[in-house]
């Protein structure tokens, strides 16, 4: 896979430093316009959206300049969830859609991810060609249009409304949300302008927290990675459910009416059961990742549902779903893909499927979430200064080998680098919490000693 600029989820880094500076953004815009305009003849416009980070203004302007310089028009949506760009790119017949977002990362970071005309993330070959052109800008200069051929940029005023209607249409028409009290945590991110409208227009009583972005507070102690405020608010209001999105709203973590956090693994299990009952679980198959909890796998086994592991990351989950014909797949982090409804993970769409399962069954979320008990698991994120192959770190490799020998068939160890941050993730699953804590701490200590 191309990896000088593109990681597991687009290009990402600290804002105003390469590669997340204006110069590289302009080059990405120019190269993307050239590659995708050539591939999609007749589609001469690119959609550009962003989350609420302060640096989004700078990167949006630079991308727009690069795209227009290649004779391609730009449609600007302003802040909107990443899956909204995927939807609008497809329905507005654009050659590509570009999102300026670093998802769940802190506000200092930003990123650029690209969708093709069908609303799917770019294949590796297209990313590789774009990377090559970024490093060889002279090749594009011969393709610059004359002054009359320079592209135009305009803002589209109805982007949010179109996306709100799309989301609502993924909820079964025979149900409404009337009588339900829902708390939303918008993470001061891209969901703030659309999520409240979706749930209110379906009839719910909606209370919203962390929906006042100021450019620097995105993901700050809120959203899908920090549900403390959401749990307190659900309990204080006696709400039926709490919904936490990340900064670009492609992930969802829920909170049940008792204030308990419900993981993405539970979302997958609940929706797999509901889809199995409705006959919409294609090929009786769910795609997971190595991070998925053992309890989820056992629950799917009990349902008689097949499961397969893709690599870690939504791109790999989607690729496996397309290859094997699955309609449901996702990650413990809350990135869940309903491929019969959307081309990418969508936190709002995921929430609506959970709510549909509650309506159809007449059961509370806490009851539905009892579908399985999570096996003891711990994920430790270790900040690292570099990312050499894990097997080349003798102390880390020895600690992993000792852990695997101790656990045998009763647990798992997974050590991998984040594709978007300078982190090494140490995941341990075992029969007891004591073993999980002890083994994960031992491996994490070796990682810190080697590259921390």
Backbone angles phi, psi at 146, to 5 degrees: -70, 170
263 is catalytic: no
Rounded CA separation 183/196 (Å): 9
- Name the catalytic one among 55, 69, 101, 103: 103
Rounded CA separation 325/328 (Å): 9
Cα atoms in the Cβ-side hemisphere of radius 13 Å centred on 384: 29
Rounded CA separation 296/315 (Å): 21
Active site residues: 103
């Amino acid at each position: 896979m191309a990896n000088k600029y593109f990681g597991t989820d687009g290009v990402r880094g600290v804002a105003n430093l390469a590669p997340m500076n204006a110069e590289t953004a302009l080059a990405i815009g120019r190269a993307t316009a050239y590659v995708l305009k050539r591939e999609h003849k007749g589609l001469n416009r690119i959609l550009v959206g962003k989350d609420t980070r302060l640096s989004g203004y700078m990167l949006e302007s630079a991308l727009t300049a690069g795209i227009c310089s290649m004779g391609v028009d730009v449609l600007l949506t302003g802040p909107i969830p990443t899956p909204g760009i995927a939807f609008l790119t497809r329905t507005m017949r654009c050659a590509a859609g570009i999102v300026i977002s670093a998802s769940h990362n802190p506000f200092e970071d930003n990123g650029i991810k690209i969708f093709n005309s069908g609303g799917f993330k770019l294949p590796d070959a297209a990313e590789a060609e774009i990377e090559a052109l970024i490093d060889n800008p002279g090749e594009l200069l011969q393709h610059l249009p004359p002054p009359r051929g320079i592209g135009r940029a305009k803002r589209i005023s109805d982007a949010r409304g179109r996306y709100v209607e799309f989301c609502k249409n993924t909820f079964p028409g025979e149900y409404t949300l009337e009588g339900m009290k829902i708390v939303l945590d918008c993470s001061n991110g891209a969901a703030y302008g659309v999520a409240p409208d979706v749930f209110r227009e379906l009839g719910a009583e909606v209370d919203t927290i962390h929906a006042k972005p100021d450019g620097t507070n995105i993901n700050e102690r809120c959203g899908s990675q920090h549900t403390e405020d959401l749990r307190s608010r659900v309990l204080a209001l006696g709400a039926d459910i709490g919904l936490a999105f990340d900064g670009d709203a492609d992930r969802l973590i829920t909170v049940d009416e008792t204030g308990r956090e419900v993981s993405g693994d539970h979302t997958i299990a609940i929706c797999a059961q509901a889809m199995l009952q409705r006959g919409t679980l294609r090929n009786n198959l769910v795609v997971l990742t190595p991070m998925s909890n053992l309890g989820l796998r056992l629950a799917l086994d009990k349902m008689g549902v097949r499961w397969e592991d893709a690599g870690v990351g939504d791109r790999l989950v989607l690729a496996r779903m397309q290859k094997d014909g699955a309609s449901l797949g996702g990650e413990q982090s809350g990135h869940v893909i309903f491929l019969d409804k959307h081309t990418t993970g969508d936190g709002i769409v995921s929430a609506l499927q959970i709510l549909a399962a509650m309506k159809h069954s007449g059961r509370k979320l806490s009851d539905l979430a009892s579908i399985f008990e999570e096996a003891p698991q711990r994920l430790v994120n270790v900040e690292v200064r570099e990312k050499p192959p894990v097997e080349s770190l003798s102390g880390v490799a020895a600690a992993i080998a000792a852990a695997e020998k101790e656990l045998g068939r009763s647990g798992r160890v997974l050590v991998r680098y984040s594709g978007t941050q300078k982190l090494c993730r140490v995941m341990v699953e075992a029969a007891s919490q004591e073993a999980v804590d002890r083994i994960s701490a031992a491996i994490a200590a070796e990682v810190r000693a080697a590259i921390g």
